[in-house]
Amino acid sequence: MAIEVQCIQCGSTHQVNDRLAGRTVRCPECDTAVHVPEVDLVNPADEVAAEIVEVEIVDVEPDSEPIAAMPVGHNEHAVGQHGAGKADITPEPITPGILEDEDSDAIPRRKPREDDELDMTPMVDVTFLLLIFFMVTASFSLQKSVEMPRQQSDAQSHQTIDEDQLETVEVQIDDRGSFLVMAKDWERETPGKQNLTLALKSAMTNANEGMKLIITVHEMAKLQYLVDAMDSGTIAGFTELQVTQVDGFD
């Protein structure tokens, strides 16, 4: 239950918790010490039995004692007894925050959110989705291949060409990567894969029946040169390839 008190200094009315009855509080408007009456003083029977007493106005020096407050609705009774009752009031310690209702529920402060560890599940899902996407959309290039017997010898092979056998064209690859094309009627040194392809195409004299390409490679030559020669022979249209490795050329 709240007690309604009125400040005599500024005349403002405030609600005070009944647990502060008999204590001295400060008015929030004028900061004047105001006494909270006891609960027993707020009794309607006292108002009926009270009589108006004439008092003599006497000049009194201001003192530091707090001014007693009276309940609202009993102003006439308090005015007649203000002079006599003032001396009986004993000031008590002032309690801060009097005018606030202690029973009111305060809004709790929101606790700061604790930072948890970063969840890596979405990132893993995105990674797998990208992996599947690139696997599906990737284009795989098919390389051409030609079956050929593997033959190695220390000396250059010489075979007798019969009339029933395929016509042959020989390509020699030295240790520096230079190509020497030896056709039936001419010989030509061609640097580079593109020039070798053109030379092999010009050496194709019997393309309808097919021709055989003999590649003789130096043992100190890089493997890339041998791959270029085989690729050029396949592009030129040779149906059979034969590779021979030697330790030198005459």
Any idea where the domains of the chain sit in the sequence?
2-86, 165-246
Q: Please state, rounded to an integer, the average pLDDT across all residues of the chain.
A: 71
Q: Is the pLDDT of residue 59 over 80?
A: no
Alpha-carbon span 43 to 154, nearest angstrom: 134
Query: Residue 123 has what pLDDT?
Result: 93
* pLDDT band (50, 70, 90) for residue 86: very low
DSSP track, the chain: -EEEEE-TTT--EEEEEGGGTT-EEE-TTT--EEEPPPGGG--HHHHHH--------------SSPEEPEETT-HHHHHHTHHHHHTTPPP-PBPSSTTS-TTSPPPPPPPPPP-PPPP-HHHHHHHHHHHHHHHHHPPPPPPP-----EEE-SS----PPPTTSPEEEEEEE-TT--EEEE-SS-EEEE-SHHHHHHHHHHT-S-TTT-EEEEEEEETTS-HHHHHHHHHHHHHHT-SEEEEEEES---
Alpha-carbon span 167 to 92, nearest angstrom: 130
Q: What is the pLDDT of residues 115-159, one digit of tens each?
A: 667 888 999 999 999 999 999 888 766 555 555 555 555 555 555
Alpha carbon distances (Å) from 172 to 91, 153, 181: 123, 15, 7
Higher pLDDT, 216 or 26: 216
Region 178-198 average pLDDT: 85
Query: Residue 165 has what pLDDT?
Result: 66
Alpha-carbon span 72 to 78, nearest angstrom: 10
The sign one gets for the Cα dihedral 126, 127, 132, 136 is positive
Alpha-carbon span 210 to 236, nearest angstrom: 11
pTM, two decimal places: 0.36
Q: 211 has which bridge partners?
A: 167
Alpha carbon distances (Å) from 170 to 38, 58, 105, 231: 127, 143, 103, 14
Query: Residue 148 has what pLDDT?
Result: 53
Q: Is the pLDDT of residue 14 over 70?
A: yes
Q: 180 has which bridge partners?
A: 172, 189
Region 24-29 average pLDDT: 80
Query: Residue 143 has what pLDDT?
Result: 57
Query: Residue 160 has what pLDDT?
Result: 47
Higher pLDDT, 106 or 20: 20
Query: Residue 162 has what pLDDT?
Result: 47
Alpha-carbon span 249 to 184, nearest angstrom: 19
Query: Residue 89 has what pLDDT?
Result: 56
Structure tokens at 202: 């010009």
- CATH, range 165-246: 3.30.420.270
Q: Is the pLDDT of residue 202 over 70?
A: yes
Q: 244 has which bridge partners?
A: 151, 216
* pLDDT band (50, 70, 90) for residue 161: very low
